[in-house]
Structure 1
Amino acid sequence: MREGGGRNHGGVAARRAGIFGLVAVLVSGCTAGAGEAGTSRPLRIMAASGEGAVLFDPATGAMSGHLRSGGRAWQDRESAESGANVTCVARCPDVAVSQTPADERPAMAPFLLTGKGRSPFAVSAAERAHVLSARSVTDAVVEEADGSGHSWIRVARPGGTDRVKAGHRGYQWVESTDGNVGFAFPWRAEKPASYLLRFVRGADGWRLSTSAAKTVAEACVAVAIADRGECVTGDRAAAVVTRSMDGQGGFATTVRGLGPDGRIAWRREFATEAGVTAHPTGPSIGISDGDTFTLLDPGGRTVRERSGVMAARFTPQGELVLLSPTGEVEWLPAGSIERTL
């Protein structure tokens, strides 16, 4: 199962979900698989918004949607087992489920997964469709492919549709926490940067950007691609996450924070599979190591810590979603996070 970008892993970027990833997707980047059931890996928040959150439990292989108002909206194991990708539609925990256009897999039409169960998500008429980002069927970015091996990316907006040449299959999506910029690239390509596509979001939806802006998000994606890592980014804060696993199945995570100039400003290492999240508009990066959540300033210094936190993720509105070891989900209001941690 891939995440998503969401927009970040507990930061690969909130709407899309994955663990190694983006590039958590391996993961928030994005992208890699969610892993196998039966392990001791911590629960993770795959995506979150002000209305709900999507969780993944590596121990059971189950993915579940939780409402902020209380209760579980849905639970699904089949999507995770099939290697599907999920992205929140409009708001979590409603998600669109799809697969990358890999020839070895049977074609699967995208579908919605909500508290009412599964239903068609008619976002594409292509033979194979991979939903990178979606607010609705008329506001989405979709990787499409046909049976002849041709692929492209279609950008749907309420006022029209653009078709962008892809040049490769298997794109991964990195979206900033605030949802204003997005990047797509084929993470399995020999030179992913050669196929990098940049998107900006306006009142009428996503549009392809033809130039590289000198932003922390742009720098983050460039480093993540070069290092085969994850990019977790907001408007002012970003971090590149790389992961490894030893021969005994032990995980290690390295987090490198970027400064305003796009250069590496600090580095932290964890002997676990840590989750990373970026504030949508502020300068903070958050890291959860399965037991403690740490909020860092632009220099990598600890601002606040809270124990008893298995995973955490900022929402596009700047709220902080915390997951306890018992599976309880808590939303900390924007503007009061430092006081309430």
Structure 2
Amino acid sequence: MSRITIILLGAALAATACATAPPPPVPEIAPVLVAASAEGVVVLDTAAESFFGLTRTGRQVWQDRAAFHSGAVPVCLARCPDAVFSGAWTGPDPRPWHATPAGPRPFAAAPSTTAPSTSAPSTSSVRRVLSARTSRDAVIAEGPAGGAGRLRLIRPDGEPAGVPVDDAAEVVWSEDPGGTTALAVAGDEVLWFRHDRRGWRRLPGGLRAGRTWGACTAAGGERAVLVGDAPRLLSGRGRAVPIRTDLEVAAECAAGRGSAVLIARWKDERGTPFTAVRGVDGTGAQTWAREVRAEAHVRADPVRDRFVIAHGGGAELVDGGGRTLKTYPGVSSAAYTGDGQLVLLRADRGLHWPAP
């Protein structure tokens, strides 16, 4: 998952002591929060062609242009903006790296004392960090491009483990906001994982994934959504019910404690972006709908049954039934931390943390 001083602030205050400086205009390509914790955020700024790591107060800790241009994806470690990057648009994945104020540093997984083949630095063409708290507590998808690979579970208090997968590059990993439970869509399987002081371990059981390209998880794994040809709502890692909406195809999802949303995107013949948001309840039935004439981003509150929708230079807080609770102007992006704090990002990369 702040950004620049408002240039007009001094002029506005000079004009009238009672006036309030207007929020900075939101550019057509606005910065986006990609990760957030109570300590800070990671921001993708397309105009600046960079990722930025910012503290809670908005102080810039690091900037990474190489990650932007290579197509790498960030994952926050124990707290943002401390982050590791991995992956690439094309060609073999580079070795994952840690973003620091002094520049990128190699992200080296802790070595194994008894099973070097499980924990040695990978030379695979696919090397994607899916989850990490430290270099001794991480999940890495690795293997040949387009071939069978594994999920390497690196544990702080035990030997690493390997979970075979059909195609490491295509694994979809969805971690609940509390960081205790995750699901992985690997080929035609949905695998479940649990994290504790000993690291990640695979849980027994699973289910068929079908053609699934996205997932989201909430409430410690008690609620999850699979997005694909046949979207499904999962309860308690076992029961799956079909999700019924009027969308032909959903691209994304956001799962909350009591409900979820599916999201579809398209552009008209003039190139105008549209976003369709559909709320669903615990039975998988559609309960509300919203059409947005803009590129909208939706995030779920992990503590309360509500969502924040950012679009068109503002953010809208809605409850589980789609009713507007509050609006925030001058916002380019919004996100929640794992403990339910809302953070708002301005176009100048400034941060605001509204009171609950």
Could you state the TM-score of these two structures normalised by the residue count of structure 2? 0.73
1:1-341 → structure 2 map (5 Å cutoff): 40-99=28-87, 105-123=91-109, 125-128=121-124, 129-146=127-144, 149-160=147-158, 161-170=160-169, 171-185=171-185, 194-211=188-205, 220-224=224-228, 226=230, 227=249, 229-332=251-354, 336-337=355-356
CA–CA separation in structure 1 for the residues paired with 2:251 and 2:192: 18
Q: Distance in 1 between matches of 2:37 and 2:168?
A: 29
Is the Cα–Cα contact under 8 Å of residues 51 and 65 in structure 2 kept in the other structure?
Answer: yes
Q: Do 1:64 and 1:72's aligned partners in 2 also have CA atoms closer than 8 Å?
A: yes
Number of paired residues? Answer: 289
Secondary structure (helix, strand or coil) at the match of 1:221 reads strand
Asked if the contact 2:250–2:262 (Cα under 8 Å) also holds between the matched residues in 1, the reply is no
- Out of 163-172 and 81-90, give the one that drifted further: 163-172
Any idea what SS the aligned residue of 1:87 has?
Answer: strand
- What amino acid sits opposite 1:115 in the alignment? P
Q: Report the structure number with the largest CA radius of gyration.
A: 2
AA aligned opposite 2:54: H
Unmatched runs of 5 consecutive residues or more in structure 2? 2-26, 110-118, 208-216, 231-248
- The alignment partner of 1:81 has SS state of helix
Q: Cα offset for 1:243? A: 2.0
Give the TM-score, by structure 1 length. Answer: 0.76
Q: Structure 1: any 5+ residue segments left out of the alignment?
A: 1-5, 7-38, 187-191
Q: Is the 8 A contact 2:176 2:218 kept in 1?
A: no
Instruction: Report the 3-state secondary structure (helix = DSSP H, G, I; strand = E; otherwise coil) of the residue aligned with 2:344.
Output: strand
Task: Answer whether contact 1:139 1:205 (CA < 8 A) is retained.
Answer: yes
Q: CA deviation at 1:212?
A: 5.3
1:249-290, CA deviations, whole angstroms, 9 ceiling, x for partnerless residues? 432212222323343322212121111111112211111114
CA distance in 1, matches of 2:174, 2:132: 13
Give aligned-pair identity as a percent: 34
RMSD, matched Cα: 2.7
**Distance change >3 Å, CA 114–CA 301, structure 1 → 2:** same
CA distance in 1, matches of 2:308, 2:182: 21
**Given that residues 48 and 314 in structure 1 are in contact (C-alpha distance below 8 angstroms), is that contact kept between their aligned partners in structure 2?**
yes
Aligned partner letter, 2:155: R
Q: Which amino acid counterpart does residue 274 of structure 1 have in structure 2?
A: A
Contact 1:176–1:235 (CA under 8 A) maintained in structure 2: no
* Offset from partner CA, 1:207-227 (integer Å, 9 cap, x none): 223335998867653245644
Deviation at residue 152 of structure 1 after TM alignment:
0.9
Instruction: Rate the CA distance shift 1:261–1:207 in 2: closer, same or farther, 3 A.
Output: farther
Q: For residues 47-73 of structure 1, give each alpha carbon's deviation from its aligned partner in whole angstroms, at most 9, with x where no partner exists.
A: 111111111122232211111134111
Which structure has more RCO (C-alpha within 8 Å, separation ≥ 6)?
A: 1
Alpha carbons of structure 1 residues 45 and 70: separation in structure 2 relative to 1, 3 Å: closer
* Structure 1 residues 148 and 225: alpha-carbon distance in aligned structure 2, compared to 1, 3 A threshold: closer
Is this contact kept in 1: 2:191–2:205, CA < 8 A?
Answer: no
Going from structure 1 to structure 2, the CA distance change for 1:179 and 1:238 (only over 3 Å counts) comes to farther
